[in-house]
Amino acid sequence: MYRLGIAVLLRFATLVALLVLLGCGEQRDRATGQKQVTIRVAHFGGPAQTMIFDEIVEAWDKAHPDVTVKLERVPGGQYLTKLLTGIAANVAPDVAWVENHHMPALFLKGGLLPLNEFLAADSTINIKDYWAEEVERFTVDGQVYALPNDTAPVAPVFYNKKLFDQAGLEYPRDDWDWNDLLAKAQALTVRDEAGRVVQYGFLGWAW
């Protein structure tokens, strides 16, 4: 067992992005002489997330027979405590899927491993594919400590160009504000002859 530290991902990302955290287990296959590595991946997701993780791990194992991924699901209410306790005892998982608010405690505990070296060595990951604003939130002194899966709690706005074109509306600009959003949402709202809404001009949080 050798210590790598602990790298953390926000929410959920593909296993390609789930690179390292803490303490990969290593042994050598006697038949091939090849090193066998076990990577422990912790998460707190429900059945839907667990199913996705299982599918990713299955695909990973087929493509990388020398690296075994072991999933460890921890109930959400115990999750941060479990990670912090594991760091203190040097038995934390190698990779963890965490919430934004977990980051300060993990960082102050000294359990985070910078990802820069791994990002530079892996051609399958391009840091520019991530929104810079999100990456910057988890960068300290030039060191990247997490890769985001989504933008929570930041809420970007996506729009349907086809509907804008049909309504003869200008696409949103970088300097638009809440008044612009309201005006466009009202212009995009469609009602039938009875006054019932058949097309809403804006959809908020849809979880």
pLDDT tens-digit profile, the chain (207 residues): 333 344 444 433 333 333 344 444 455 555 555 678 899 999 988 888 889 889 988 998 899 899 899 999 988 788 999 999 999 998 999 999 888 888 889 989 888 889 999 889 988 889 898 888 888 888 999 999 988 877 666 677 889 999 999 999 999 998 999 999 999 999 999 999 999 999 999 988 766
* Among candidate residues 157, 163, 160, the one with its CA nearest the CA of residue 177: 157
Please tell me whether residue 9 adopts helix, strand or coil conformation: strand
Task: State if pTM tops 0.75.
Answer: no
What distance in Å separates the CA atoms of residue 46 and residue 31, rounded to the nearest whole number? 38
Q: How is the chain split into domains, by residue range?
A: 7-147, 161-199
What distance in Å separates the CA atoms of residue 40 and residue 27, rounded to the nearest whole number? 14
What distance in Å separates the CA atoms of residue 175 and residue 159, rounded to the nearest whole number? 15
Superfamily of domain 7-147: Periplasmic binding protein-like II (3.40.190.10)
